[in-house]
Each structure stands twice: as structure tokens, then as C-alpha cells.
Amino acid sequence: MENNINNTENTVTNHQQNYFVKPDAPNSIAVLILGIVSLVLTLMSCGIGGGVITGIIGLFLGIGSNKAIKESPNQFSEKSIKNTKAGKIMSLIGLIISAVGVFVYIVVVVFAIILEGGGF
């Protein structure tokens, strides 16, 4: 039961078997966390801009991470690639819900002004 880890080659020796440990894609965990935060903040604020900043940051980090994944797809672990995809999707959903919420808010305010007789 001897485990030896050699950090320079990223190999793990366990019971005479060697296998390569793939690194995580760049910013995969950050993209996932920002996507979750974007979605939660958006839903907590009823869709009115709560998670816009975290959604934008998560989306841009996800795009950058996808570029690195496309350049060398077999270099990164499958788990981190899935985390990046999930984080991008959640960031995008948070942004879309925020955009719809802001649009509905603007429409309601405009109709309220019109019905009050204020006009433009």
C-alpha cells in the first residue's frame, strides 16, 4: 500500500500501476461558482439585475477556459470541462433572466406613467 506522488511528471504510483493525472481546465471552479452565484442572486432579486456582474464575469471566464480546452481537449480532466460548461450555462441563464426581468420592470414603469396621465 505504498503511494508515491511525483509532482514534476504528474504521475501516481499505486500497486505498480502508473496513470496520468489530468489537471483541471483553467478557472473551471471559478466559472462554476460564479454561475451558481449569478443564478441564485438573479432568482433572489426576482430577475432585476441581481446576478448580472457575476454572470458576466463567469461567462467571460468560461469563454476563456473554453479556448484553452479547444486548443488541447485531451489535456484537461473531464470533470473540469463539465464544470466549465455548467458554469457558463448557469451564467447565461442568470443573465437572460436578469434581462427579461429588467425589460418587464421597464414596461411596467412605462405603463404606470402612461396610465397616470404623465405621458412622455
Model pTM score: 0.74
pLDDT tens digits for 53-94? 999 999 999 999 999 989 987 898 999 999 999 999 999 999
CB 88 within 8 A of CB 58: yes
What are the sequence ranges of the domains in the chain? 25-116
For 14, the enclosing helix (H) or strand (E) is strand 11-14
pLDDT tens digits for 29-46? 999 999 999 999 998 887
In this structure, the chain runs to a length of: 120
